[in-house]
Amino acid sequence: MHQSSRVPLLILLTASVGLAVVAAPRASAQGLRDRSQKKAVRGMTGDFDGLGMVLWVTRDEARRLLPNSDLQLDYPGDADRHPIVVLLGAEHNVGVQLGRSYVHPRFLQEYENAYVIVPYLRHPSTDQHVYIFSKIFVSDEKVTERGSKLNGSPKVHAAIEDAADRFLVDYQGERRIDLTMQEKPPAAKPQAVVAQSPRSNNTPATADLLRAIFRQPKIEFSPNVHLFSFDFMAEAAGLTPAIVSGTIRAPALTSDPSQKGSVGDRSSDVLLLSPNHPVEAVRFSSHWVKSLQH
C-alpha cells in the first residue's frame, strides 16, 4: 500500500516540473512585452532648432503616408487637399524620462532630423484630432536604431546636410530633400508665395497653423495605441519667416493603385514640394516635452 502511493506522487512531481518549464518561457516573454511597453510610454524632452512648413497634397497622397489603416483624414472644411507638416533641423540635449527625472545619453546630445508629419487625423481610440510621424530621417545611426526599438518609431538613417541656406537629405541612395532657404524675405513676398500655394482657402498663416497642429496629441502604435502631448511650438522662440524652394519627396507607406511602382520604389514617393513652387516657412527654436496622455 505504501509503495503504490509513491507512483502518483512521482507523476505529480514530474508533471509539475514540466508545467514550470513550459510556463517559464511564457512568463519571460510576457515580461519582455511588459518592459517594452513601459519603455514605449516613457516621456522625453529636448531642444529643437530648425524650420517648419505646411505643405498641401491631395487626400489620396496623404493617405499613402499613413502607417495604420484605422487612421482617417479629417481636415476641417476641405474635401480635396490635406496639410502635411515638414520639420527640418537639429535636436539637442534629448533626454528620456526615468522616474521623475530625465537621463541624457551622450548619443542624444545632437543630431539632425527631417520629420514628415500627418496631422488632422481621426482614430477610434479618441474623439480628438491626432497627428502622426510618417517618416523621420535621422543623421545618426545609433539614434535611429535605439528609437526604432524604443517605440516603433519610423526613424530611418539618412545622410543629412543642414546649412543656414540649404538642407539636403539622401536616403537609400536617393536625394529625398533638396531645399534652399531665404530668411527674412521682403514684406510683400510671403503673401505672394502663399497665393501660389495650393492650400485651402482661409487657412491660417504658417506659424498659427503649426501651433494649432501641435496642440493635437501625437498618436503612436507600439503596438498598443498611446497618445502623447508633444508640442514643438509651445515654447517656440525667435520665429523668423523664410521662403523655401526645391524638392521634398516622402516615401509612401501604402501603394497607389493607379501607379505601377510598389512601396519602397522612388516612383511611389509622394511629392510634397516641387521646384519652382516656393512656400512660406518659419525658422524657430523650441524646448519640447513629450508626455503620455493615455
- Say how many domains are in the chain: 2
Do 110 and 210 fall into the same domain?
yes
CA–centroid distance for 36 within its chain: 19
Q: Is residue 4 located within the same domain as residue 59? A: no
Q: What is the pLDDT of residues 141-186, one digit of tens each?
A: 999 888 777 666 899 999 999 998 999 999 999 999 999 999 866 5
What are the grid coordinates assigned to 85, written together? 507638416
**Alpha carbons 170 and 158: distance in angstroms, whole number:** 6
Helix then strand then coil, % of the chain, to nearest 5 = 25, 45, 30
Do 28 and 150 fall within a single domain? no
The CATH number of whichever domain residue 229 belongs to comes to 2.40.400
171 with 206, same domain: the answer is: yes
Cα–Cα distance, 41 to 151 (Å, whole number): 8
- Tell me if 268 sits within 8 A of 65, measured CB to CB: no
Residues 4 and 73 in one domain: no
> Are 8 and 127 within one domain?
no
Are residue 89 and residue 174 in the same domain, yes or no?
yes
Query: What does each C-alpha distance from 127 to 85, 164, 220 come to in angstroms?
Result: 22, 40, 16
Domain that holds residue 173: 43-292
**pTM for this structure?**
0.80
Contact 72, 130 (CB under 8 A): no
Looking at the structure, tell me whether residues 142 and 163 fall in a common domain: yes
Q: Mean pLDDT of residues grouped by 10 in the chain (294 residues)?
A: 50 46 48 49 89 96 95 87 97 88 87 97 96 96 81 88 95 95 65 45 77 96 89 96 96 68 66 94 96 86
Query: How does strand 279-292 pair with strand 237-250?
Result: antiparallel
61 and 205 housed in the same domain: yes
88 contact partners, CB below 8 Å, separation of at least 6: 50, 51, 52, 113, 114, 115, 162, 167, 177, 179
121 and 47 belong to one structural domain: yes
CA 46/CA 27 separation, integer angstroms: 36
Say yes or no: 73 and 89 in one domain: yes
Backbone angles phi, psi at 3, to 5 degrees: -65, -40
Tell me: do 12 and 91 sit in the same domain.
no
